[in-house]
Chains A and B, each alone.
Chain A
């Protein structure tokens, strides 16, 4: 039986084969438990029966030290750091395994307890190498901190320490046994949290060691959670080791730029010759929805930023060759050309392709720039999900979308299509851990036996391409059952499944790109009949949802308002009356010579969408990108762009969760897309105050902050000042347009304080525009796996080395 089915069997109630009885954490048992009252260090504590003492202590601000205890992982009782005195018990008890009891009297701090903790540390340090000065964890080490607190500084140990050579387990994971304190966090997070089970414990006693599944190396999802969770420097990151000291870095919490899940990643940055270099990614403060989680991309794949092929100078095609040029020359040229085409051939001769990885502000600005400055509706982006159809179907329905956080708490989840483990790692984590800790029911319908079936209450394998039929069947089309029925799942089984789903309250219905257009409407019709059901539509890139919400469509403005008219935008913007060309339309227009100019911002349609590179040979092509991509090489002008880790703004994940993007790194010689758009508008002679609502400064003041008079950008500055934040603002600062977005784009009127504080704000589609009948066939999934990330991923050394070590050919996984 394959490993997966074994676990499936387990969740059906058979004996757990991996975790010892009594060590499992099942938080569902805590729900609906009566409260008990106890006394800790003289303080009254009330907690639900079943709460662990160590957690109860936290609620009154008493921190009981621990190494092996880790919230939501199975209990170990191994490090003995959490020993406390429980009245009437002869020995000290471990707070991490003791459950609160009514009337319990607990002391967490006494001479006896201090001594116990001190001696644990002494014993640990006996065999610990104490190479803190060169250890990656130095300064961020729980063992160091604990030693500082309990003062086990005097060394009683004279014997030779047990030694073992350091091992490299994968391109990104190194293991140093002597530093390991055997808290088993890594083993648990890999097994229980990730369901990968790539780590185990080899040998026994003092020679015990953490071991990878392939004897001397790892075969796993390379998430690096083991490294992050290691309290000491036993597991270190191949991407970061020996690079710097933690206190030499600035830590910037921002949003991962890879998939559509929107993990918060904290980037450690350091000054370098060329700007600010990102040296580390992790989830240091665990404040994102992803909590403990990051996948390989969020953790390591920031390294494209200083790839040697990174563009750091504008390029202009001269004599057929892309030749370095100055910014002034370049903006002047682009501005002149764009203005010429617009004035001569009309805006409809210009095409604009936006990005799924730029910020909301940039996507919005581009959408606005196209309509207002270029006077064209020829706007599109690489679509990986049918958000317009979703928005149309959900219009008027309050609270119908689920956030990423909801997925962790929902009592039941229906997932049709997609393979979250590969394409939406955080979503997979949320689902898995919801099932593990809260016993959520997971209904899975997929054409492949995806890994999440191990967590599924029910898994139904369907032929590829019949996902839409499932939607019809669920919405009541019984005829669809004929097409779906198979020997393993007959008509009755299908009906039974539908009946079962009908009983679910607060079900979250998640679907991938397999379901589009009218099928989305069917699915939503089905879900809307259930009590409390919510939806998530899965798109592939970091800001796919933002690109859609911000109206990077030929027929839709921000908020899914049709270009045809009827929205607030039509009062504020001068919008070309007819819908524009979509991407294939632009390509056709290019071929026939009707498309005179093409502006591509942070997108590689030639590389990713199989477009004939000669299609636009007659057009003036301007590309903003980090690298000379397949699209950039055919351009007339290439502008070196900053990436999402090098700018500020907001992004919206696939669920509709908006988060703040913070600038971490910087490479000199690049500019943010936002600034470049503004500067092109300026070069076209457009009054940029009409584009970016900032104050009454003059043209020459661009780049300066302004006094608070009029304009939303200035209000933003005032607002910042009032909140005690730094009022640094220029019309080139993307935040200058956030007010306008918040005012005009339905759903984006979220709390600014929360956003700026780094929290997540969920947007709803309730008040969105009616959308439009999009062409479902225009959706082209990215087909990214765990180790790929579109064009960007190709420039990550880490991803590349991991793929090589896994012997996955990039071409195999990235083909689309």
Chain B
């Protein structure tokens, strides 16, 4: 295990989480078009941070920092990582962050079209997913010798956890589309709200089943139960934040500008969604690390 590489990856992961919050603040403050310039703001590298330009340009500065950190990450993995797939993932992270930066520029130059804005928000979660995975792959727990567990039951936990991760990712896409479909001064489209609520039910079922099976089958394995319990707590918090975000968002079109608590609660909902996603990825990777694939699961994998 390379402690330095792991710590650096954790630093990039933390910075990326902060960047997600900074991006969510831009959307909630309706600051995405505070300047019509990109990559400069009003023709300047360091403009006066007037009004919403603070959020938009602040987001760009944090994004630049994460971009530079990711260049370092890719170089670090290229130089130090022995496992080919993990090394490639480290380099892929750089490609993702470059694509994300270009998408961010497109959102400004095209005046925030829904598809591009939602893609920008979705790719942000994918990048976060990538660096979280790299953090897991470089962690001490991943390298420790631990006995492989066998699948205990008819439902393979490996595939259930993957299904939960995919469900959460689809829900994140729905959430991003919903958030970018209307600014604070317009009402959210009912059909997208209903789809997002439906997605929440699906996430509760899939992730809830995964957590329940982990606790039931491997209750003594803290390597699995810790992320499972954390995911359950975050999921509960996320549902509460989702209800609160919806209620505050219902009132925001009547307000003279984006106000708290709408801004804070919707941003917290985005951030908590990312944490649910990250924790589920950690859980899924740990399941793949410790739970042996069953014959049935193997066959399923080759269908």
Q: Do A and B come from one complex?
A: no
B residues engaging A (CB < 8 A)?
A: none
